[in-house]
Chain A
Amino acid sequence: DAGVTQSPTHLIKTRGQQVTLRCSPKSGHDTVSWYQQALGQGPQFIFQYYEEEERQRGNFPDRFSGHQFPNYSSELNVNALLLGDSALYLCASSQKDEQYFGPGTRLTVT
């Protein structure tokens, strides 16, 4: 079992650009959640996908959007990047109440 995988590992973008991050859930998991972790902080919930629909959303602007595919993998898209979007983006998959995290994507916006 490969566990939760994320790509890419690191990414550098310029302000105003758009970025797509990808996540493959652990085998058997149908729910994917995305979190943003700023340096030195705890992760903040962005949104959760289940059955290809956004089930709940945290306090993040519409520039943050996502998608879940029929195979349960997911993408996180961020438009019009700001310097403040620089963070570690964590994906977590679950089937019930225990979430398993991927290694994260480190996004740097310059």
Chain B
Amino acid sequence: AQTVTQSQPEMSVQEAETVTLSCTYDTSESNYYLFWYKQPPSRQMILVIRQEAYKQQNATENRFSVNFQKAAKSFSLKISDSQLGDTAMYFCAFIVPQGAQKLVFGQGTRLTINP
């Protein structure tokens, strides 16, 4: 079975600080994709960043970057220069890109950015 674990239920940092959210996953597949989604109070699930398992280079999107450790099955998200608008639930998710592609989500981390 494929599972995703987020061990930090809640985190809180000051505006402009850097914060890292943790995620581990378990799979026997060799080809898969990993995602971080953001869900603000508006409920809309928004894709933040994606990482293909076959790529060794860590993905980066502006202030968001990941640390992908394939052997350790770890996929953390770093948010630099955090902003008030980053306050949201963050979900780590996993997908196998063959056949029916279902996303497997972690339990989420509630991130609060304080002014």
Residues of A within 8 A of B (CB): 31, 33, 35, 40-45, 48, 50, 55-56, 58, 88, 90, 92, 94, 96-104, 106
- The answer to the question of B99 belonging to the interface, with a C-beta cut-off of 8 Å to chain A, is yes
Expressed in whole angstroms, the minimum distance between the Cβ of B85 and any Cβ of chain A is 18
Per the 8 Å Cβ criterion, residues 14-68 of B in contact with A are 33, 37, 42-47, 50
Query: Chain A residues near B46 (CB, 8 Å)?
Result: 101
How many interface residues does B have (CB within 8 Å)? 24
CB-based contact B43/A103 at 8 Å? yes
| Interface of A, helix, strand, loop or mixed by DSSP | strand
CB-based contact A45/B95 at 8 Å? no
- Counting residue pairs across A and B whose Cβ atoms lie within 8 Å, the total is 61
Query: Chain B residues near A50 (CB, 8 Å)?
Result: 100
- The answer to the question of B103 belonging to the interface, with a C-beta cut-off of 8 Å to chain A, is yes
Which residue in B33, B91, B102, B107 is a CB contact (below 8 Å) of A33? Answer: B102
With A58-B102, A101-B44 given, can you name 8 additional A-B contacts, CB distance below 8 Å? A42-B105, A42-B106, A88-B43, A98-B50, A99-B103, A101-B37, A101-B46, A104-B43
Looking at B33, B50, B100, the one whose CB has the most chain A CB atoms below 10 A away is: B100
- Between-chain CB contacts (< 8 Å), 22 pairs: A31-B101, A33-B102, A35-B103, A41-B108, A42-B105, A42-B106, A43-B45, A43-B103, A45-B104, A48-B100, A48-B101, A48-B102, A55-B100, A90-B45, A92-B45, A92-B103, A94-B101, A99-B95, A101-B37, A101-B44, A103-B42, A104-B43
CB-based contact A97/B33 at 8 Å? yes
Looking at A42, A50, A96, A106, the one whose CB has the most chain B CB atoms below 10 A away is: A42
Expressed in whole angstroms, the minimum distance between the Cβ of A21 and any Cβ of chain B is 14
Closest to B92 in A: A42
CB-based contact B99/A56 at 8 Å? yes
Closest to B45 in A: A101
Q: How far is the CA of A58 from the CA of B102 in the complex (A)?
A: 9
